[in-house]
Amino acid sequence: MKDLDLSVLVSVFLEMMGPLFWLLLLLGIAGIVGFVAVFLREGKLDSRRLIRSELVGLAGGVAALVLMASVTVSGFTDAGGPVDWLLIGIIWGIGLAGTTILAYAVQGLLAGKRPTA
């Protein structure tokens, strides 16, 4: 594997996760599109909705770590060096951010447009 391009990454993720990869990709795209739609509709971020989304995001980070441990043959006790722990932190951060964005979008789309005071 001399070259690292998008097709190689997609192949590796498909091998690891199977059809779950496409579901996660669609959820990520839907979350971003929904977040942009809510933000454009309201023109600002709602702080209460954002705090609730961040709390849900904490659980999303943990879910990303559980998913990582289930699709690989190694567990958290196999993390030996700093790079392993950095990768674990990055995976948790991506799960946190993705779940936060998705939760904010879902809450905003379900709430509808609120009247401004």
Residue 79 lies in a domain: yes
* Count of domains forming the chain: 1
Residue 76 lies in a domain: yes
Residue 1 lies in a domain: no
Residue 75 lies in a domain: yes
Q: Domain limits at 56?
A: 6-111
Task: Give the separation between CA 35 and CA 86, rounded to whole angstroms.
Answer: 28
Q: Is the pLDDT of residue 113 over 70?
A: no
Q: Is the pLDDT of residue 117 over 70?
A: no
From the CB of residue 36, how many other CB atoms can be counted at a distance below 10 Å? 12
Total-model pTM: 0.81
Per-residue model confidence (pLDDT) at position 116: 58
Residue 85 lies in a domain: yes
Cα angle 32-38-41, degrees, rounded to a multiple of 5: 135
pLDDT in tens, 38-96: 999 998 999 999 999 999 999 999 999 998 888 887 766 777 778 888 888 999 999 99
Residue 117 lies in a domain: no
Give the confidence band of 114 by pLDDT, cuts at 50, 70, 90: low
Residue that is written with structure tokens 């559980």 in the block: 66
Judge contact between 64 and 95, C-beta under 8 A: yes
Judge contact between 87 and 13, C-beta under 8 A: no
Per-residue model confidence (pLDDT) at position 39: 93
Q: Side chain identity at 27, as an amino acid letter?
A: L
Residue 11 lies in a domain: yes
Q: Is the pLDDT of residue 115 over 60?
A: no
Q: Is the pLDDT of residue 18 over 60?
A: yes
How would you classify residue 45: left for phi > 0, otherwise alpha for psi between -120 and 50, otherwise beta?
Answer: beta
Task: Give the separation between CA 51 and CA 72, rounded to whole angstroms.
Answer: 32
Per-residue model confidence (pLDDT) at position 1: 57
